[in-house]
Amino acid sequence: MATVAEPIKRPRIKQTQCFIGGKWQDAVSGKRFATIDPATEELLAEVAEGDAADIDLAAKAARKAFESGPWSRMDARDRGRVLYRLADLIEEELNDLAALESLDNGKPVRDARAADLPLVIDCLRYYAGYADKIHGSTIPVRGNYFTYTRKEPVGVVGQIIPWNFPMLMTAWKWGPALAAGCTVVMKPAEQTPLTCLRMAALAQEAGVPDGVINVVPGFGPTAGGAIVKHPGIDKVAFTGEHLTAQIIMREAAQSLKRLTFELGGKSPNVILADSDIEKAVQGTNFGLFFNQGQCCCAGSRVFVEERVHDEVVDRLTSLASSRRLGDPLSPDTEQGPQVDQAQFNKIMSYIQKGKTEGAKCLTGGDRNGDRGYFIKPTIFADVNDNMSIAKDEIFGPVMSILKFKDWEDLIQRANNTFYGLAAAVWTRDISKAHDFARRVRAGTIWVNCYDVFDAAAPFGGFKMSGQGRELGEDGLRPYTETKTVTIALG
Ligand code: ADP
């Protein structure tokens, strides 16, 4: 008989203020905003609502720490040790942090434990190891000169992150910034501020000097907008929607900030008839429904070769309809609620569009229960390339299945999107795998797997899915400036 595991104890919420210059403080305006439990729609906590005045304080604290604080004088190797210590503290608190993430975001605690937290820790350790390996080169130039380059930190960086992987996005941003010697003004997403604030407290405990990390919770156009416009911030790293990135690019023009973007996607996931169908179906189910479908790289356009189409559709439908929805804090839960009412409404409207535009809804297609933002795992078949559900990023548990017959036609259809974040192919044909990897214009290609992430493997988008890369050595580059030094010899 299957046992139902006990729900995890609700974690205590310890930090709800702005963290500026090493101090916890209310917003200058005194305003607070609500963060909601998406599983129950009840209030979790009231959090300080930062705005331009708080961003200004944070930017000044970060500037001071960058230019005259201990951070600017610390040996690179010691900076690395601080990052290692932060990773250790997060590891010690892994279960509580996973529960807090689950509570604020709605993701199943088992995913937070098995995926988010280990990736957070790995990312911080990876960049900790990089801190003392960032160096320039000596360059042979014409004439009697000695020329070398220095890799210097870009300065004060503004970091704006979304709500789908709050802690992981924090680590992806802090890791390379701190390794490079930058200081940070971060704004977590308004839906999920709690774990980023907790990480700031752990960073202080780990020995990150005051002012090096500043966290200002608040809303996008106000607190986020103030980061983008602030003349004392040198660079903005942003993860979110391409429409927001367009606003940021316009607003950053005034101070010509360096910009990196990690944006959305409508990733093709292709199943060929020669593939290991069981693995392909399992991987495809995971590649879309993981994290309630709230992944920028979700494999939301599933192309299935005609010969195996019906079998694959049946198997995907039966897998999706057996997913366990429920309390995210229960270790048995496979799917939690969507993050908030706005996302819930957006996804439901796409489900409605799919039905109206003539796709066949095979499972789901409706909300689950009457409390919390739960949506049943939904599969549409008979989808064609022009339907909204095949073109737009839905960011929810909605899979669109498209049929294909011809390989050349498939490559063209896979590329027929302004996004270019990720793509996957399931096949035993090595030539087809390489052909796909070469011709599909996306930043990440998975072959016979999906959602395989590693701190060392660069991630980011072609086309309107982004600018620059995160993770790996590529992820470090945007946090450094190259300085060329030329010395006349004799
Ligand atoms: P999502 O749809 O995933 O919420 P957004 O791009 O709206 O994507 O949000 C991602 C992050 O960007 C959040 O922290 C949000 O507050 C912030 N944000 C939203 N609008 C702006 C803006 N105009 N300027 C700066 N940051 C913004």
Please answer whether residues 185 and 156 qualify as being in contact, where contact means their C-beta atoms are separated by less than 8 angstroms.
yes
From CA 137, how far away is CA 157, in angstroms rounded? 25
Q: Is the pLDDT of residue 329 over 80?
A: yes
pLDDT at 439 over 50: yes
Average pLDDT rounded to a whole number, residues 112-122: 98
| Ligand 1 centroid, distance to 162 Cα (angstroms) | 7
pLDDT at 5: 61
Q: How confident is the model at residue 2 (pLDDT cuts 50, 70, 90)?
A: very low
Distance CA 193, CA 426 (A): 37
Ligand 1 mean position, distance from CA 224 (Å): 7
pLDDT digits (tens, 9 = 90+) for 4-15: 566 688 899 999
- Name the region of 337 (left: φ>0; alpha: ψ -120 to 50; beta: rest): beta
Q: What's residue 69's pLDDT?
A: 85
**pLDDT tens for each residue of 280-306:** 999 999 999 999 999 999 999 999 999
In this prediction, residue 231 carries a pLDDT of 97
With beta carbons less than 8 A apart as the criterion, state whether 271 and 410 touch: no
Q: How far is the CA of 211 from the centre of ligand 1 (A)?
A: 24
- Residue-wise pLDDT tens digits, 221-250: 999 999 999 999 999 999 999 999 999 999
Gap between the Cα atoms of 151 and 166, Å rounded: 29
Query: What residues are annotated to the active site?
Result: 262, 296
Alpha helices in 397-487 (DSSP H): 407-414, 430-439
Q: Which residues line ligand 1 (CB under 6 A)?
A: 160-162, 187, 189-190, 219-221, 224-225, 228, 240-241, 244, 247-248
Cα separation values, 74 from 204, 241, 319, Å: 16, 36, 53
User: For 48-59, what is the mean pLDDT?
Assistant: 98
Q: What is the pLDDT of residue 6?
A: 66
Q: What percent of the chain has a predicted confidence (pLDDT) above 70?
A: 99
CA of 238 to the centre of ligand 1 (A): 8
Residues whose CB falls within 8 Å of the CB of residue 66, separated by 6 or more in sequence, listed in order: 72, 153, 155, 156, 182, 183
**What interhelical angle do 309-321 and 277-289 show, nearest 10?**
50
Q: Confidence class of residue 3 from pLDDT cuts 50, 70 and 90? A: very low
In the predicted model, is pLDDT for residue 1 greater than 60?
A: no
Q: Which atom of ligand 1 is nearest to the CA of 245?
A: 6
Closest ligand 1 atom to the C-alpha of 190? 16
Please give the number of the atom of ligand 1 that sits closest to the Cα of 343: 2
